Structure 1
């Protein structure tokens, strides 16, 4: 919906016929160093003067950027804006068209609301005797904001990020507050902020409420624009409130009544032509009565099984047990260096009675296992205030011949050489022995022939 603001002489009255003014885009999001361009047009012949204003966050004053009278000239931009701002367009045609270009964007200087205004081309003795029409967009029945809001990211490699408070543990019946903030260089005024909940890892997430909904059951949302903060308060906690709570920001141009799906890839989802971004999530656990917060009582690393298939791979298993609640994570190190390749950890801890257990597996090559490497399993546990670490380690086995049949190359060469030499000696001895037997037999035969004669 488009409405018009009419400004007239202080002592008189200026009546202006209303008409439609188009200003696009509705909102804009850019990185530092890029160029932003906004367009303004209308079809009212008498209104050949177009003005552009800037209103910075937290400032009610409108600052004139520049204006064009029939056309835009080199001096159309006011002195404070000449470095980065450029005005252009054609105001002499039937359809008046103009644009505002901002080059070399900077987050602190250029994140603001930009307003297009038009007025009639009259030559008046008193400059207040003009009728100016400023375009505004109605966002709700009680709030108006400028047509264009530009957000500039603070670094060319920076993406939209959502910051959330750390995990929480709370007894039943208490109240907690979950905080959400936009990342550096971003303002909540150009986004719609929402809260979602996920009952368990891997389960679908559900829309809880938005910034336009103040209260839902025992959930209450409040937004503090100047502090860039969106808070979710949960009163009279029960075990059913144990969930992962996600704060999400969606570009304000998206239909507020549409639900945003959840996408695991970089926690971003698409809704129409706009994107919504999720924070990492705040995990809230409402403690069960009668069960104390307990760190892992046992962490054990198990060596690879001797029956493991000879595929050149060995699997180490880490088992952590005896902890409550299940606010744990598992990581692996080889020789004090963190590794992620070959790591597979349970998606969630398993409940056993009043405690939990979780397992993690690390698959390495046979060479890594038989090279005297040190393998460490580290389990981090959050007790509600601090994170503690619980480790166990195992050292790889050096190559050996448990059955006595596996030989090294050098030893094999020595054994074969010895065998060859032994065989030669055996042949020589056999020949000598054979010659000796032949000689003895010949002597005996000679003696018998002499006695016969």
Structure 2
């Protein structure tokens, strides 16, 4: 589902917003490709989450899983190798964080019966026998919301570029403000003529909390000739 709304909108630009997104994302190192998924997930207490980690480099014998709570550093959950049992750190157990590894390439971690305390970003890490190189997955952000909490879609406003910028620099900067959404799992994607645009895009690194909801801003700067804007009251798609 997508929400797009705004008083000013470029005819050739489509802004795609998704509250939940779960693609495969990769961390790439020399000679290795690490993929971890899902990227983000929202759960209510009592549900379970399985995180997958894949790597294509057969020499990566050791595997580690880390937890990073909000505004905290990385905490090691468990470590294992292809020839030994899993070794859990204090405060973590197999009953809660079950790790399976059928072969060197692919491993899973299942977080059972999630609670609010499990809200964090989780990373897989793999390294070679001699520990020369470390390869992190891209992370999985888990948000746990209350039983009665409502997922709220964003209100989105698109602001047109300034005439001064167009006249003096032959550039046009479009600004998107997404506000009033909950939780903070929001990804903004710009599309120009149906094609995803990454060049000239600047998006806030994280959402800003405003009371019980969040806001996020993104900017797209493009050549003025590409942007043909017109007034409109709203668009829903």
TM-score range, shorter chain: 0.5 to 0.7
SS of the counterpart of 2:99? strand
Listed one character per residue, the Cα deviations across residues 332-381 of structure 1 (whole Å, up to 9, x for unaligned) are: 12222221111100111112232221110011233333xx379xxxxxxx
Residue 213 of structure 1 pairs with residue 70 of structure 2: no
> Across the two proteins, how many residue pairs are aligned to each other?
194
Listed one character per residue, the Cα deviations across residues 117-147 of structure 1 (whole Å, up to 9, x for unaligned) are: xxxxxxxxxxxxxxxxxxxxxxxxxxxxxxx
**In the alignment, which residue of structure 2 is the partner of 1:249?**
126
SS of the counterpart of 1:310? helix
Residue 169 of structure 1 pairs with residue 169 of structure 2: no
- Assess if the C-alpha contact under 8 Å between 2:77 and 2:89 holds in 1: no
Alignment of 1:356-395 (within 5 A): 356-369=214-227, 372=228
1:209–1:227 distance in 2 versus 1, CA, 3 Å: closer
Displacement of 1:160 after TM fit? 1.9
TM value normalised by structure 1:
0.38
Structure of greater relative contact order (alpha carbons < 8 Å, 6+ residues apart): 2
- Assess if the C-alpha contact under 8 Å between 2:36 and 2:124 holds in 1: yes
Listed one character per residue, the Cα deviations across residues 261-303 of structure 1 (whole Å, up to 9, x for unaligned) are: xxxxxxxxxxxxx11111121111111353212232x222111
State which of 63, 67, 89 in structure 2 corresponds to 1:193. 63
State which of 273, 278, 301 in structure 1 corresponds to 2:136. 278
State which of 107, 110, 129 in structure 2 corresponds to 1:230. 107
**In the alignment, which residue of structure 2 is the partner of 1:299?**
156
Note the residue ranges of structure 1 that are not aligned, 5 or more in a row.
1-157, 255-273, 375-390, 394-453
SS of the counterpart of 1:314? strand
TM value normalised by structure 2:
0.67
- Assess if the C-alpha contact under 8 Å between 1:291 and 1:354 holds in 2: no
Residue 310 of structure 1 pairs with residue 168 of structure 2: yes
**In the alignment, which residue of structure 2 is the partner of 1:45?**
none
Listed one character per residue, the Cα deviations across residues 389-415 of structure 1 (whole Å, up to 9, x for unaligned) are: xx779xxxxxxxxxxxxxxxxxxxxxx
State which of 341, 348, 361 in structure 1 corresponds to 2:199. 341
Give the whole-Å Cα distance in 1 for the aligned partners of 2:168 and 2:221: 13
Give the whole-Å Cα distance in 2 for the aligned partners of 1:312 and 1:214: 58
- Assess if the C-alpha contact under 8 Å between 1:345 and 1:359 holds in 2: yes
Q: Larger % of helix: which? A: 1
Give the whole-Å Cα distance in 2 for the aligned partners of 1:321 and 1:328: 10
Alignment of 1:27-426 (within 5 A): 159-166=31-38, 167-172=40-45, 174-184=46-56, 186-187=57-58, 190-200=60-70, 204-211=73-80, 212-214=86-88, 216-218=90-92, 219-226=96-103, 229-254=106-131, 274-296=132-154, 298-306=155-163, 308=165, 310-369=168-227, 372=228
- Assess if the C-alpha contact under 8 Å between 1:242 and 1:286 holds in 2: yes
Give the whole-Å Cα distance in 2 for the aligned partners of 1:244 and 1:322: 23
- Assess if the C-alpha contact under 8 Å between 2:60 and 2:104 holds in 1: no
SS of the counterpart of 1:367? helix
Q: Larger % of strand: which? A: 2
1:336–1:224 distance in 2 versus 1, CA, 3 Å: closer
Displacement of 1:246 after TM fit? 0.8
Displacement of 1:175 after TM fit? 4.9
- Assess if the C-alpha contact under 8 Å between 2:55 and 2:105 holds in 1: no
